[in-house]
Amino acid sequence: MKLPILPEKLANFKPEIGLILGSGLSSFADDRIKLSGRLQYNEIEGFPISTAPGHIGQFIYGTICGKRVICMQGRLHFYEGYSMDQLTLPVRLMNSLGVQTLFITNAAGGIHRDYKPGDFMLLNDHINLLGTNPLIGLQGDKGVYFPDMSEVYDSTLRMKIRNWSEANKIELKEGVYLATTGPSYETPAEIRAFTLLGADAVGMSTVPEAIVARKLGMRVLGISCITNTAAGISETKLSHEEVSKTASRVSSQFADLLEAGINLA
């Protein structure tokens, strides 16, 4: 998919760091970014529109800790009916602007028995159960044809954030994220299967963006906000309202963690 033409002000901004904010986590952009500008997705010709609840659908760009950042306030999902090419277009667009480090956040269900709603998990690996790969058809794009995926999530940056979290007494888990298509939540039997596969948390995003970013040579850091325990572990029925409520409850602590990561990048 051809990259769209952006306004000159954004094209000249030359961001260093890209952010993708997950469900219930969009307040970070308003609270922590020293604003230079906004660009609604519907103002970009041919750009997909975010339709998921709680995803505003705009780029916000400005500075954090003196670093130039561009932030997706609202992401795109496979379950919205978009192709892999469409939902990873923002990553390729950010890279074309100069972004070399990408922070990807998400709301996820906790599979690991030690995880509870409100916890944060650094991604150290992922499992792709989306049934496809976002690199199919992107052979003409920049980057290597067969990108190595032995370290998707940057180990040096993870270590720095672990050290910061320990020093600031913020509990931070680390584990494997598994991506499904959604939009239905998983069954208890599926969660038992995912446990056997080695997953610690499950969600409906992140993996396509991370794969494309690595193809393009970008550093990637993933952070999950555990907003609920998964089916068969949770004692209540799963709902998007629970996801949003938990994310809102820990939004300030999440913002501290993400801002520290940007400062350390």
How many Å apart are CA 252 and CA 28, to the nearest integer? Answer: 8
Locate the domains of the chain by residue range: 8-264
198: tokens are 């080695």
Tokens for 35, please give them: 């604003």
Express as a percent the part of the chain with pLDDT over 90.
75
Q: How far apart are CA 195 and CA 149, in angstroms?
A: 21
SS3 label, residue 174: strand
Residue 23: pLDDT band by 50, 70, 90 thresholds? confident
pLDDT computed for residue 202 by the predictor: 97
- Name the nearest CA neighbour of 108 among 212, 185, 38: 185
More confident residue, 91 or 249: 91
Domain 8-264 falls under CATH 3.40.50.1580: yes
> Which amino acid is present at 27?
S
pTM above 0.85? yes
Structure tokens at 50: 């975010």
Mean pLDDT over 22-30 rounds to 81
In this predicted model, what pLDDT tens digit does every residue of 199-242 receive, in sequence order?
Answer: 999 999 999 999 999 999 999 999 999 998 887 787 677 787 87
Active site amino acids: 23, 55, 77, 79-80, 107, 204-205, 228, 240
Considering just the CA atoms, what is the radius of gyration of the chain in Å?
17
Confidence bin at 141 (pLDDT 50/70/90): low
Mean pLDDT of the region 8-19:
94
pLDDT at residue 139 greater than cutoff 70: no
